[in-house]
Structure 1
Amino acid sequence: MDVLVLIGRILFALLFLTSGFGHIAQRKAMAEYAKFKGVPFPDLAVPASGVLLLAGALSVLLGVWADLGALLLIVFLVPTAFLMHAFWKETDPQAKQGEMVHFNKDLALAGAALMLFAFFAHTGGDLGLTLTGPLFSF
C-alpha cells in the first residue's frame, strides 16, 4: 500500500513540478499570456504561482506536510480554471472546446488534490513513506 501511494504521489506531482518550473523559466512569455487572459498583475502572478506549484508538488512528492501541499495545489488550480480557461467567454467553437477541456481538467485535479488532503489529514502518518506527518488532522 505504501509503495502504491508513493507511486501515485510521484505521478501526481510530476505535472505540477514541470508546470512550476515552466512558470519560473518562461515567466516573461507566460506573463504575456496571463495578461492576455486578464489575470491581474501577471508579472507577479506568474512567478508567484510557479513557486506555489513547486512548493505544493514537492510537499506532496516528498511527504513533507503533504496535506498542506495538496491545499497549495488547490489554491492554484481553482482560480486558474476560472481565470485562464473561461470557456464561456469563447465564441469560436474549437477554442471553446479546448478551454472547456482545460477548465474540467483543472477542476478534476483540484478534486484529486482535495482527496489527497483528506487522506493525509485523516490517516496521519499511516500512509507511510513520507518524511513528516500531516499538518492538519481530523
Structure 2
Amino acid sequence: MTTTTSRVARAALGVPFLWLGYEAAAEPGGRVAAAADLGLPRAEAAVRFNGAAMALGGAALVTGVLPRAAAWGLVASLVPTTVAGHAFWKDDDPATRKANRIQCLKNLGLAGGLLLVASES
C-alpha cells in the first residue's frame, strides 16, 4: 500500500475501536453480564479494561504510533468481545442468532484488517 493509503486505512480501522472502546470503558452496561457469563472474575473491571485497551489501540492506529503492536492488541481484544457478546451458536431465536452472526463475521473482518496492519513492514 502507499503511505497515504495505509494511513487512511489505519485511521478507518482505528476509529471504531477508539469510539466503541471508550464507550465500553466509560459505561460497561450489559457487557458486564456477558463477561460474567464467561466466568471472568471482576467482570466490570474486565469490561472496562478491554474497552480502554480497544480505545488506546484504536488511537494508536489512527495516529500511527506503534500500529503493528496496536493491531495485535486489538486482535487479542476482539476474541473475548466476540465470544462474550456475539456467540450466535448459543442463540435459539432466529433473529438474535442472525444479528449475532453478522456481528461475529464483522469482527472476523476487522481481525483480518488488523492482521494486514500487523503484517506491514
TM-score by length of 1: 0.78
Gaps of 5+ in 2: none
* TM-fit CA distance, 1:15: 0.3
Residue 91 of structure 1: SS of its match in structure 2?
coil
* TM-fit CA distance, 1:30: 3.9
* 8 A Cα contact 1:23 1:30, kept in partner: no
Whichever residue aligns with residue 34 of structure 1, its letter is A
**Among the aligned pairs, what percent are the same residue?**
26
Look up the match of 1:127.
Answer: none
Look up the match of 1:57.
Answer: 58
Whichever residue aligns with residue 10 of structure 2, its letter is R
Whichever residue aligns with residue 87 of structure 1, its letter is F
* Greater Rg by CA: 1
Matched pairs, number: 118
* 8 A Cα contact 1:23 1:47, kept in partner: yes
Distance 1:44 1:32 in 2: 9
Gaps of 5+ in 1: 124-138
Does residue 74 of structure 2 align to residue 76 of structure 1?
no
RMSD: 1.6
In 2 relative to 1, CA 71–2 (structure 1 residues): closer, same or farther, beyond 3 Å? Answer: same
Whichever residue aligns with residue 26 of structure 1, its letter is E
Residue 67 of structure 1: SS of its match in structure 2?
helix
TM-score by length of 2: 0.88
